[in-house]
Amino acid sequence: MGDSWQECMDYAVTIAKKAGSEVCKALKDEVSIMLKSSPADLVTETDQKVEKIIISSIKEKFPSHSFIGEESVAAGAGSTLSDNPTWIIDPIDGTTNFVHRFPFVAVSIGFAVNKEIEFGVVYSCVEDKMYTARRGHGAFCNGQKLQVSGQKDITKSLILTELGSDRNPEVVKIVFSNMERLLCIPIHGIRAVGTAAVNMCLVATGGADGYYEMGIHCWDVAAAAVIITEAGGVVMDATGGPFDLMSRRVISASSSAIAERIAKELQIIPLERDDGKKEN
């Protein structure tokens, strides 16, 4: 089935470009904002419009495939991953950035078969950077091969994270406490660009040495996870265990040494899984 997955990947790149041009066009207009789970968890009409464009285009070409899309799930669709070829879509990763016109906004399209991510496409629209990777075939940005920094020493690392959209004071305390623990190792610094997909792609480029976050969803990280590993990096659960697409926690890094050291410092935020299953 190798060639047919390549056909899917080529189509994903085409669709991501089309979606990205819609996003860039919308950035010039007035943005209509709605709230989701909290005053900091935003969604726009463009999120919903772009997801419809992506899913309807793919359904037309691959009618037997399954979908997990951020806005479809928000509207009540499930996010169960089956063995069927499944497209995992975030139409605008970085909605808050989009609303404020902060220039890091990405279209993220992951593709899983037999519950394993086969390829990922992340299009950072404003930058016009197309990140792509297929399992076993390497990772690229605009056709240039990507390689992680390979950094193994946490004290020489630049780490990326996000503050998240949960404004529960207890959660906010944990978020800041985790940053404080890492800063005091010490590390070189912490950065946040406002999109999980772009953060992970920056680790894949070697521009940062690690990224962690709790509270993300499968559509934020599905595509970028394969981009990291194909660039020679590591993806794991924030607990230090194996990466679980549905756990809503991730660490990605330039090496196992960095990933494990980050995991050692983190206090875990309790979260409901994307697939609704109970944590063991």
**Fold agreement (2-145, 154-265):** no
For residue 31, pLDDT over 80 is answered with no
The pLDDT, as a whole number, for residue 280 is 60
For residue 44, pLDDT over 90 is answered with no
pLDDT in tens, 239-273: 999 999 999 999 999 999 999 999 999 999 999 99
The CA distance from 250 to 34, in Å, is 27
The CA distance from 3 to 10, in Å, is 11
The pLDDT, as a whole number, for residue 36 is 82
HEC string of the chain equals: CHHHHHHHHHHHHHHHHHHHHHHHHHHCCCCCEEECCCCCCEEEHHHHHHHHHHHHHHHHHCCCCEEEEHHHHHCCCCCCCCCCCEEEEEEEECHHHHHHCCCCCEEEEEEEECCEEEEEEEEECCCCEEEEEECCCCEEECCEECCCCCCCCHHHCEEECCCCCCCCHHHHHHHHHHHHHHHCCCCCEEECCCCHHHHHHHHHHCCCCEEEEECCCHHHHHHHHHHHHHCCCEEECCCCCECCCCCCEEEEECCHHHHHHHHHHCCCCCCCCCCCCCCC
The CA distance from 192 to 170, in Å, is 21
Arithmetic mean of pLDDT over the chain: 94
Structure tokens given for 6? 């390549």
Percentage, residues of the chain above pLDDT 90:
84
Residue 75 confidence class, pLDDT cut points 50, 70, 90: confident
Q: What is the CATH number of domain 2-145?
A: 3.30.540.10
Residue 178 confidence class, pLDDT cut points 50, 70, 90: very high
* Averaged pLDDT for residues 211-217: 97
The pLDDT, as a whole number, for residue 1 is 46
Q: Which residues belong to the active site?
A: 70, 90, 92-93, 95, 220
* Averaged pLDDT for residues 170-176: 97
Distance, C-alpha 246 to centroid of its chain: 12
Domain ranges of the chain: 2-145, 154-265
pLDDT in tens, 89-143: 999 999 999 989 999 999 999 999 999 999 999 999 999 999 999 999 999 999 9
For residue 49, pLDDT over 70 is answered with yes
Q: What is the CATH number of domain 154-265?
A: 3.40.190.80
Higher pLDDT, 110 or 29: 110
For residue 166, pLDDT over 60 is answered with yes
- Look at 1-5, 38-42, 134-138 and tell me which has the smallest mean pLDDT: 1-5
Residue 73 confidence class, pLDDT cut points 50, 70, 90: confident
For residue 2, pLDDT over 60 is answered with no
- In DSSP terms, which residues pair with 252 in a beta bridge? 211, 235
The pLDDT, as a whole number, for residue 70 is 83
Dihedral angle sign, alpha carbons of residues 269, 162, 254, 114: positive
- pTM (two decimals): 0.96
